A and B are shown apart, each in its own frame.
Chain A
Amino acid sequence: MTASSSPKTTTKRVKKLEAFGGHDPLFLAAILVVGLILAYLLHMPAAGENPKPGDLGTIAGVRIEDKRQVVIPFHKEMLKDIYVQPSLETIDDLATVNIFTKTDKFTIYLPPDQFIPGAPPVDPAKYVMQLSGVVTLLSNNVDIAARPMNVAITADMFKQLPLDAKDSVTLTTRNNLVITLPYAGKRSNAMNISEAMPPSVAFALLWILELGLYVGLTWYITRHPIIATVALGLGLVMRYAFVVIYQLVFGIMDGTPFLANIAMAESRDWAYQLLNLAVISGLFALPLRNFLKTGFNYKINPEIDDSNTVKSSSVSTPVAANKFSFAPKQAQVADIKIRKAPKPAASAEQGVLNPPEDFIRSEPVKGVHGTVNIPRKVIIASVPEAENILRTDKPIPVQLAFVVPQLKRATVWLTWQQIFDTGNTDPAHGNPNMEDPDLYDRWIRIPAKYYALQVPEQLYAKGQVNHPAWMLQPHVPQEEQYDLEQEHV
């Protein structure tokens, strides 16, 4: 099998593959990015999602369900979006309280004595604080307007609350939804996890950490199918280990018993679990794909175009060398034709100049006689060794017949031999051609400055100039008046 891409592209690709352990970095990156984004989006509940019956949605990473005791994290972020406004309306023995959030407005019911000055059993402000926790729960989960009585809190319930003795209170709604509220008046000064970091950020960080571990694992995995299978098993173990960690962390944040959380963990986020498996499968599909393309444990010799002597680094290093210890010792080599890098042209600093790529060597013009004198320093600039050969500072005569064909180039390129042709040798310099025959084919660059003014004027004859059509268009009447400078000065 031979790669169909160009040699230059192939060499680059081989280097890339080497850098990413034989995996296509674009494919790898695409899977990771898409996985990250989708996992995050799928895991976060969409705004306004309708919960299933019995499922009131999620808050702070905790799934709220009827008949289940839950703890609502009560932190400063919740208070930002919520304020409570007592209403004058009464229904039976309950006062209504309008609650506004950024997006919602709804009403819950409170015993009126909570809002009568002078007669509250407890400080109303505390109840407001407590209630904001309830509001947050409900505004994130259920359509309050559809069933307001579900969250009515009766006076009896409040009177039973031993607020001074507990850090949290438990309420039971009429449909048996049990809600535990932290008590604001007895809060500890120590900052808990929820205050330090919103749960969504904590979740995202853990997710990134987990993915980083997946990437690190695959980094060391060769394209051996058995090794890949083992790694897949490791990946799954890791996945479940992280599920436990998630539940542990969020259990601490919520105050929910760990066992209660872990018992329900796996059955809920099916989309998230599915995506995790997809990501893992994608990562391990890479070695599988390479295996299918190249065959098991094969090795071929790369076809090397050895047209020049520069050794390419990509040849000496096998592609995706097996770094994992279980891997077969035999190196695997990509089925790619590797062309060695072209020999770089020597730079002027190295003492060797070459004409540009588009330069075409021209023959001397017949019938043109005479010379132009080139300063010695021009020769030395191109051939530093000439300093020892050209013994005097006298300019070097160069035959015009060699210069004229290149007049349109702004720079004349001649070989040492063309300049120091036997018939053109200046006695002052002896015969440089005889000094060092190795210099015969060395190129000498002569800028226009050193010959242009010495070339007879007639040799610059342009011949017939054909003006472009746009120059021949008729004048516009009064166009001489169109003078930007005169108009404005």
Chain B
Amino acid sequence: MATLNYATREINCKLVYYGPGLCGKTTNLQFIHQRLPGGKRGDLVSLATPGERTLYFDFLPIEMAKINGFKVKFSLYTVPGQVYYNATRKLVLRGVDGIVFVADSQWNLMQENLDSLQNLEGNLSEYSLKLDDVPYVLQYNKRDLLDIAPVAYMDYLLNPRGVPGFESVATTGIGIFETLNALCRYVIRGLVHRVESGTF
């Protein structure tokens, strides 16, 4: 859950990029890291195999504009997508404030997308959370490839709640910041709402 530090006037939020293996979660963070100036983001911490598979998680702290005098900081995490790293995924989800579900648009990975989404719901339930409680957006990645499913079908399959979905090409940056901005706004809305209602 987000933390509010009155002494340093900072709000810290945790965002997690979730999705099946090799769908482009780390590439998202790499592009954000590359685009943001050094003063507004920290180092990208990434533990990966030589085959570019995330072993533990990636971490990138970034900073947003001030809201009511409070500096908003987002900690971006990715999870390892490979099936057998579920314990790590569960761990990374602890205290999450928002989720980007990155789906691979390739036809032959539809089942993996669906399995990963179900895995996300299962892991959230371990913390007594549901996707109805945590702001999340969908990102349909790899839209530049040829053998991909239409967005309408992916929406039907992965988006029963009608949350915002964004087409993206993480390698070139298309849709990366649209996705992140949308999620950040939902997270901030939730924060402001909780502060105003006195539940923070």
Which A residues contact B (CB, under 8 angstroms)? 407-411, 447-449, 452-453, 460, 462, 465-471, 473-476, 479, 481-485, 487-489
Cβ of A470 and Cβ of B110 under 8 Å apart? no
Given the interface pairs A465-B161, A482-B185, the reply to whether A473 lies near B35 with Cβ below 8 Å is: no
Cβ of A473 and Cβ of B36 under 8 Å apart? no
Which of A411, A470, A482 has the most CB atoms of chain B within a 10 A radius of its CB? A470
Cβ of A479 and Cβ of B189 under 8 Å apart? yes
Cβ of B134 and Cβ of A470 under 8 Å apart? yes
Report if B114 contacts A (CB, 8 A).
yes
| Segment among B21-29, B50-58, B60-68, B77-85 that sits at the interface with chain A | B60-68
Given the interface pairs A468-B161, A481-B65, the reply to whether A448 lies near B188 with Cβ below 8 Å is: no
Cβ of A485 and Cβ of B35 under 8 Å apart? yes
Cβ of A462 and Cβ of B156 under 8 Å apart? yes
Contacts of B149 in A (CB 8 A): 448-449, 452
Given the interface pairs A408-B157, A482-B181, the reply to whether A470 lies near B186 with Cβ below 8 Å is: yes
Q: Within the complex, what minimum Cβ distance (angstroms) separates B178 from chain A?
A: 8
Q: What are the 7 A-B residue pairs with the smallest beta carbon separation, nearest first?
A: A485-B177, A449-B107, A465-B162, A410-B110, A468-B132, A410-B111, A410-B114
**Partner of B62 from A453, A469, A470, A484 at Cβ < 8 Å:** A484
Which of A409, A453, A476 has the most CB atoms of chain B within a 10 A radius of its CB? A476
Contacts of B6 in A (CB 8 A): none
Cβ of A476 and Cβ of B108 under 8 Å apart? no
A-B contact pairs, 8 of them (CB 8 A): A448-B111, A452-B153, A460-B152, A471-B135, A476-B185, A479-B185, A483-B177, A488-B36
**Partner of A488 from B35, B152, B184 at Cβ < 8 Å:** B35
Mask: chain B, 135-161; 1 = CB below 8 Å from A; 0 = not: 100000000000101101100110011
Cβ of A470 and Cβ of B161 under 8 Å apart? no
Contacts of A474 in B (CB 8 A): 189, 193
Contacts of A411 in B (CB 8 A): 110-111
Cβ of B65 and Cβ of A460 under 8 Å apart? no
Given the interface pairs A466-B161, A468-B163, the reply to whether A485 lies near B181 with Cβ below 8 Å is: yes
A462 to B155, CA, bound (A): 10
Given contacts A470-B186, A482-B184, 11 further A-B contacts (CB under 8 A): A410-B110, A447-B111, A449-B147, A460-B156, A467-B162, A467-B163, A469-B132, A471-B161, A484-B64, A485-B177, A488-B37
Contacts of A407 in B (CB 8 A): 156
Given the interface pairs A410-B157, A452-B149, A484-B36, the reply to whether A447 lies near B108 with Cβ below 8 Å is: yes
Q: Within the complex, what minimum Cβ distance (angstroms) separates A191 from chain B?
A: 48
Mask: chain B, 169-200; 1 = CB below 8 Å from A; 0 = not: 00000000100110011101110110000000
Q: Who on chain A is nearest to B187 by CB?
A: A470
Chain B interface helix/strand/loop/mixed: helix
Q: Within the complex, what minimum Cβ distance (angstroms) separates A465 from chain B?
A: 4
A413 to B156, CA, bound (A): 19
Q: Within the complex, what minimum Cβ distance (angstroms) separates B167 from chain A?
A: 16
Contacts of B62 in A (CB 8 A): 484
Contacts of B150 in A (CB 8 A): 453
Report if B45 contacts A (CB, 8 A).
no
Q: How large is the interface on B (under 10, 10 to 19, 20 to 34, 35 or more residues)?
A: 35 or more
Cβ of A473 and Cβ of B189 under 8 Å apart? yes
Which B residues contact A (CB, under 8 angstroms)? 32, 35-37, 40, 62, 64-65, 67, 107-108, 110-111, 113-114, 131-135, 147, 149-150, 152-153, 156-157, 160-163, 177, 180-181, 184-186, 188-190, 192-193
Given the interface pairs A410-B111, A482-B184, A484-B36, the reply to whether A462 lies near B190 with Cβ below 8 Å is: no
Cβ of A473 and Cβ of B193 under 8 Å apart? yes
Contacts of B113 in A (CB 8 A): 410
Given the interface pairs A466-B161, A470-B135, the reply to whether A447 lies near B110 with Cβ below 8 Å is: yes
Q: Within the complex, what minimum Cβ distance (angstroms) separates A3 from chain B?
A: 28
Contacts of B188 in A (CB 8 A): 476, 479, 482
Q: Within the complex, what minimum Cβ distance (angstroms) separates B69 from chain A?
A: 14
Contacts of B163 in A (CB 8 A): 467-468, 471
Q: Within the complex, what minimum Cβ distance (angstroms) separates B4 from chain A?
A: 15
Contacts of A466 in B (CB 8 A): 161
Q: Who on chain B is nearest to A463 by CB?
A: B160
Contacts of A462 in B (CB 8 A): 156, 160, 162
Q: Who on chain B is nearest to A411 by CB?
A: B111
Contacts of A468 in B (CB 8 A): 131-133, 135, 161, 163
Q: Within the complex, what minimum Cβ distance (angstroms) separates B34 from chain A?
A: 11
Q: Within the complex, what minimum Cβ distance (angstroms) separates A326 from chain B?
A: 48
Contacts of A471 in B (CB 8 A): 135, 161-163, 186
Contacts of B133 in A (CB 8 A): 468-470
Cβ of B153 and Cβ of A448 under 8 Å apart? yes
Cβ of A470 and Cβ of B107 under 8 Å apart? no
Q: Within the complex, what minimum Cβ distance (angstroms) separates A447 from chain B?
A: 6
A362 to B65, CA, bound (A): 52
Q: Who on chain A is nearest to B106 by CB?
A: A449
Q: Within the complex, what minimum Cβ distance (angstroms) separates B49 from chain A?
A: 26
Q: Within the complex, what minimum Cβ distance (angstroms) separates B39 from chain A?
A: 9
**Partner of B180 from A465, A470, A484 at Cβ < 8 Å:** A484
Contacts of A465 in B (CB 8 A): 160-162
Contacts of A475 in B (CB 8 A): 189
A411 to B112, CA, bound (A): 10
Q: Who on chain B is nearest to A450 by CB?
A: B107
Contacts of B65 in A (CB 8 A): 481-482, 487
Cβ of B184 and Cβ of A484 under 8 Å apart? yes
**Partner of A447 from B107, B184, B193 at Cβ < 8 Å:** B107
A273 to B74, CA, bound (A): 62
